[in-house]
Amino acid sequence: MKTNSASTTGFVMILLIVMILSGCSFRSMAVNAVLPTLVNPAVYLSEEDPEVARDALPFLLKTIESIIDAEPQRQDTLLFANTGFVLYATAFLQAEAQLAEWEDYARATELNERARQMFLRARNYGLRNLEIDYPGVSERLSSEPENAVMVFETDDVESLYYLGGAWVLAISLGLDQPALVADFPAARALLGRALELDEDFQRGALHAAFITLESVGEAMGGSNKRAREHFKRAVELSEGQDVGPYLSLASGVAVSEENRDEFRDLLETALAIDSDEHPQNRLLNLIGQNRARVLLEHIDDLFFEPLNALELDEENRQ
């Protein structure tokens, strides 16, 4: 026994020396073993109780940040940090702010500010991720965005989607910050390139993003017509089972066109989607349906009465 124990100790010592000499560590061994399980967004996106995802994500994100701290060049963790912070800020902070803004503006402002900071954090991880394969790309994105994105390839689409998404969302909550607004062309170019490379990525997720991007108003280069085309394609690719496209077209286009009937129809269609049908999008569908319900409750605040009805009322009043 004593001999066995001595030889085991000797083996461990040798292994340790070999590992130290080869630059390996227990920590990275552990990370390599656990990481593929940890950085699996599907586990979160299929969650049926949003509160569970809300409570679990911060711990995971801090763990991921610790790993990045130890291994700053790991692209899988950088991408997950980008994805995870976008998910947390969109699904929980921004969604809660959208509910609060009807009654408690101070609370909505506080949540939106937290969301904006988190989108920026996500963007920074996304940029670090791309910098590993394309050194200097952050700088080029800022100075000549349309040319800078031409280097990306199909394998980059996931990274482009989450980076572009984080950036656009940060800008949408920071229109009072010129330094952020100035990079809108970069964010748009990233998503545009991703769409060009893989238009059916994640069952039409890029088309869904472009519904919002095209409904920014014509003065900013948007187009409701193009937003409708992206909507049609997003619905086709998701087989009508994602709430996102309906919500985006309703709040972006139907509201700006003062089309109350279409707004109601779109949101009612979104509410009729069975979130268990496609578990991979269950969490976002459940959260989107919550928002659809609130928007329908506030339909009278979102739409003015038609002008001709008002004019008729006025004539009767006189």
Q: Which residues bind other proteins (CB under 8 A)?
A: 101, 105-106, 109, 112, 142-143, 172-179, 181-182, 184-185, 217-221, 256, 258, 301-302, 304-305, 307, 310-311, 313-314
| Residue 166 beta carbon to other proteins: minimum distance, rounded to whole angstroms | 16
Q: Which residue, 90 or 159, has its beta carbon nearer to other proteins?
A: 90
| Residue 116 beta carbon to other proteins: minimum distance, rounded to whole angstroms | 9
| Residue 139 beta carbon to other proteins: minimum distance, rounded to whole angstroms | 11
| Residue 108 beta carbon to other proteins: minimum distance, rounded to whole angstroms | 8
Q: Which residue, 139 or 239, has its beta carbon nearer to other proteins?
A: 139
Q: Which residue, 28 or 256, has its beta carbon nearer to other proteins?
A: 256
| Residue 237 beta carbon to other proteins: minimum distance, rounded to whole angstroms | 27
| Residue 105 beta carbon to other proteins: minimum distance, rounded to whole angstroms | 4
Q: Which residue, 129 or 172, has its beta carbon nearer to other proteins?
A: 172
Q: Are 284 and 245 in contact (CB under 8 A)?
A: no
Q: Which residue, 238 or 251, has its beta carbon nearer to other proteins?
A: 251
Q: Which residue, 79 or 227, has its beta carbon nearer to other proteins?
A: 227
